[in-house]
Amino acid sequence: MTTADGTGRTGGTGGTGGTGEAGGAGEALIEVDGVEKVFDVRRKTGFLRSERRRVRAVDSLSFTVRRGEMVGYIGPNGAGKSTTIKMLTGILTPSAGRLRVAGIDPSRERTRLARRIGVVFGQRTTLWWDLPLIDSYRLVHRMYRVPDARYAENLDRCVELLGLGGLLDVPVRQLSLGQRMRGDIAAALLHDPEVLYLDEPTIGLDVVSKVKVRGFLRDLNAERGTTVLLTTHDLTDIEQLCRRVMVIDHGRLMYDGPLTGLHEVGESERTLVVDFARELPPVETDAARVVRVEGPRQWLAFPAGRSAAPLVARLAAEYPVVDLSVREPDIEAVIAKMYAGQVVP
Amino acid sequence: MAYRLSFAMTALGNLLTTALDFVAILLMFSRVDALGGYGLPEIAFLYATSSTAFGLADLALGNMERLGRRVRDGTLDTLLVRPVPVLAQVAADRFALRRLGRIVQGLAVLGYAVAVLDVDWTAGKVLTVPVMVLSGAGIFCAVFLAGAAFQFLANDAAEVQNAFTYGGTTMLQYPPTVFAREMVRGVTFVLPLAFVNWLPGLYVLGRPYPLDLPRWVAFTPPLVAVACCALAGLAWRAGLRSYRSTGS
Ligand SMILES: Nc1ncnc2c1ncn2[C@@H]1O[C@H](COP(=O)(O)OP(=O)(O)OP(=O)(O)O)[C@@H](O)[C@H]1O
Ligand SMILES: [Mg+2]
């Protein structure tokens, strides 16, 4: 019951916030237009023989992110999320299409763009492996030529909010995954980037750290207006942080809109759980279908967009109902359905 | 502290191995009496200029060998998201002061050679010595850079590049008449490495050139170095653009 309540509440906030955000939209900061990335993969098929194959990691991808937005970028494994982020940072050169971040072509003016963006790769640290955390930060300070006062302020803030106090003198290679991740997030923000890309930033974080990181990112976005693009496999991240989600699969954008809108696209259903006074055969109604029966308890699924009231009224009138509750659609189920439905051979 | 100790030890080690390098030549020379008609001070001079030039290039870009690993395992990503050119970052990464050993030793041998050489030191010849060392360093840098660019194409290129540069210096430490004519031609025209040392070196020593090249080629090394660096720079840029990172 608690999970059902939780999902419902966050879903609601996302919906109202989404409309508010769209109204006060800022200028376009990230522009992606018909972008493609093709990898030539060579595979050994025998002695001195190899076969070339083209992997289309990103396929005619187009979207725009406005200044101050916080966007969730999700998709199944191998969908092309990391590849997109690498193109947006200038690490990879797109095979086709047009990319602009803050008006800069990332692959052509990579070093100029680097000053204005922050990147966190959950899989890989950008810190100096052998140095204590604080020394990595000092190097970032010098490399990005952050004004001293600004650096001190940003560092203090990150140390406090991300709980890095006791870790500053520890060499990066001795940090645990979660500690390192928080260290990386701080490093990416010392130079006040306009855009922050996070590729799976909550991978390997414990529950407390996750809450800390999410709160930190939310504040960053709200107070400093930092634009955030976030990939994750933890949908709670998205539910709690992002009003807008983009779903990508096989390199193509499958959905771009508010989180709540996914329910419509995914044809999601709400579930009415009814406890009857005694065991009954599955109830017959065209407003819902029975998906499960367990003793006197039955689960009835009905379209998420429809009100539960008429159904409840009818059940109460016709059957000996003891108790009932409504479960909101599970966003994970919706997305899983979406991923599964898009399987292209 | 540990770093400082290991620095001192590797510097000493480098010094010893390069010294042994030279002793080997010395021994060979003492048997053969004159290597291809060159005396000890002359060989010392050719050896020292090439060794110093290589040492300088190695100091700046020797780290490029490690780039191959970064390209393969995708950790180059981290360098690419920073606002400093990758070359500068690679060069500064664990700035290899220990490689100073080769330079120090090269300069010492050079000092010896200059002192004992029986050469009429005109202004042109005096000027040629630092110019040939610096342009040699430039050419070796270009080779390192081209090798690094090559690593984007061939994944296991680190070894190939090593054969190139290290093999290259050993060959340059011997006077050209030891080698077959075709080989010399290849080295002069295909690998501009010869400019490091042979042509200007022979000019300083007042020796005839191989292949009857005109006298003024002794003064082309700076131009060749600039051209090589420009070409290598283009290759490097192309390499970076073809970088594909790794999945995940
Ligand atoms: N360097 C590479 N060489 C060849 N193929 C690659 C390379 N990088 C990625 N790919 C391919 O491109 C596709 C997209 O990969 P990408 O890493 O962008 O996926 P992702 O969405 O980040 O997945 P995950 O959720 O697993 O991190 C995959 O099919 C992958 O095999
Ligand atoms: Mg990924």
What's the rounded Cα separation, in Å, for the pair A55 and A95? 12
Estimate the share of chain B in helix, then strand, then coil, as percent rounded to the nearest 5.
80, 0, 20
pLDDT value, residue A3: 37
d(CA A42, ligand 1 centre) in Å: 15
The residue behind tokens 């290259």 is B168
Q: Which of A117, A124, A144 sits opposite B78 (nearest CB)?
A: A124
Three-class SS state of A73 = strand
**Interface probe, candidates B6, B70, B76, B81, chain A, greatest A C-beta count within 10 A:** B81
Residue closest via CA to ligand 1's atom 12 equals A57
Contacts of A343 (CB under 8 A, 6+ apart): none
Looking at chain A, the whole-number percentage of residues with pLDDT higher than 70 is: 86
What's the rounded Cα separation, in Å, for the pair B44 and B38? 10
pLDDT tens digits along A3-13 = 333 333 333 33
Number of domains comprising chain B = 1
CB contacts of B153 in chain A (<8 Å) are none
Q: How far is CA A18 from CA A44, A73, A216, A241, in A?
A: 49, 16, 20, 11
Helices assigned H by DSSP within B96-174: 100-116, 123-153, 158-172
Q: Residue B141 falls within a domain, yes or no? A: yes
Q: Let me know the angle formed at the C-alpha of A334 by A304 and A30, rounded to the nearest 5 degrees.
A: 110
Domain boundaries, position B59: 10-242
- Tell me if B243 and A92 make a contact (CB, 8 A cut-off): yes
pLDDT value, residue B23: 62
pLDDT value, residue B151: 76
**Interface probe, candidates A44, A81, A91, chain B, greatest B C-beta count within 10 A:** A91
d(CA A237, ligand 1 centre) in Å: 22
pLDDT tens digits along A34-64 = 999 998 876 656 556 667 788 899 999 999 9
d(CA A121, ligand 2 centre) in Å: 9
- Which backbone phi and psi does B217 adopt, to 5 degrees? -60, -15
What's the rounded Cα separation, in Å, for the pair A25 and A22? 5
pLDDT value, residue B6: 53
Give the amino acid at A228. V
Given a cut of 50, whether residue A14 has pLDDT beyond it is: no
User: Which DSSP letter does residue B190 get?
Assistant: I
CA dihedral B232, B237, B238, B241 (to 10 degrees): 160
Residue closest via CA to ligand 1's atom 24 equals A77
Q: Let me know the angle formed at the C-alpha of A50 by A45 and A52, rounded to the nearest 5 degrees.
A: 115
What's the rounded Cα separation, in Å, for the pair B77 and A90? 9
User: Chain A: nearest CA to B38, how far in angstroms?
Assistant: 47
The residue behind tokens 């409840």 is A312
Q: Are A196 and A117 in contact (CB under 8 A)?
A: yes
DSSP string, A209-251: HHHHHHHHHHHIIIII--EEEEE-S-HHHHHHH-SEEEEEETT
Shortest CA distance from A144: residue in chain B? B83
- Tell me if B77 and A115 make a contact (CB, 8 A cut-off): no
Looking at per-residue pLDDT, the higher value among A329 and B186 belongs to A329
pLDDT value, residue A47: 59
Given a cut of 80, whether residue A18 has pLDDT beyond it is: no
In ligand 1, the atom with minimum distance to the C-alpha of A41 is 4
Looking at per-residue pLDDT, the higher value among A248 and A344 belongs to A248
In ligand 1, the atom with minimum distance to the C-alpha of A123 is 27
Any idea which of A113-122, A238-247, B40-49, B172-181 has the lowest mean pLDDT? B172-181
Q: Residue B58 falls within a domain, yes or no? A: yes
Q: Let me know the angle formed at the C-alpha of B155 by B150 and B158, rounded to the nearest 5 degrees.
A: 65
Given a cut of 90, whether residue A245 has pLDDT beyond it is: yes
Residue B2 forms contact with A (CB below 8 Å): no
pLDDT value, residue B183: 45
Q: Let me know the angle formed at the C-alpha of A133 by A127 and A137, rounded to the nearest 5 degrees.
A: 70
User: Which DSSP letter does residue A268 get?
Assistant: -
pLDDT value, residue A71: 95
pLDDT value, residue A88: 95
User: Chain A: nearest CA to B247, how far in angstroms?
Assistant: 8
Ligand nearest to C-alpha A76? 1
Residue B159 forms contact with A (CB below 8 Å): no
What's the rounded Cα separation, in Å, for the pair A203 and A218? 18
**Interface probe, candidates A42, A84, A95, A110, chain B, greatest B C-beta count within 10 A:** A110
For residue A153, the Cα-to-chain-centroid distance in whole angstroms is 28
Q: Residue B3 falls within a domain, yes or no? A: no
User: Which DSSP letter does residue B194 get?
Assistant: G
Any idea which of A108-112, A194-198, A222-226, B210-214 has the lowest mean pLDDT? B210-214
pLDDT tens digits along A159-216 = 999 989 889 999 999 999 889 999 999 999 999 999 999 999 988 888 888 999 999 9
Three-class SS state of A328 = coil
Residues paired with A252 in a beta bridge: A249
Looking at per-residue pLDDT, the higher value among A122 and B158 belongs to A122
The string over B28-58, giving b where at least 16 C-beta atoms fall within 10 Å of a residue's C-beta and e elsewhere, is ebeeeeebeebbbbbbbbbbbbbbbbbbbbb
Which of A13-22, A304-313, A316-325, B161-170 is modeled with the greatest confidence? A316-325
Residue closest via CA to ligand 1's atom 6 equals B247
Portion 108-167 of A in contact with B at CB < 8 A = 110-112, 114-115, 117, 119, 121, 123-126, 143-144
pLDDT per residue as tens, chain B (248 positions): 455 555 565 566 556 666 656 666 665 555 555 556 667 778 788 878 888 888 888 888 877 777 777 887 888 899 999 999 988 888 777 665 667 777 888 888 888 888 877 777 787 778 888 888 898 888 888 888 887 887 787 653 334 444 455 555 554 444 444 444 444 444 443 455 566 667 777 777 777 766 666 667 667 788 888 988 999 899 999 989 888 888 76
Q: Residue B247 falls within a domain, yes or no? A: no
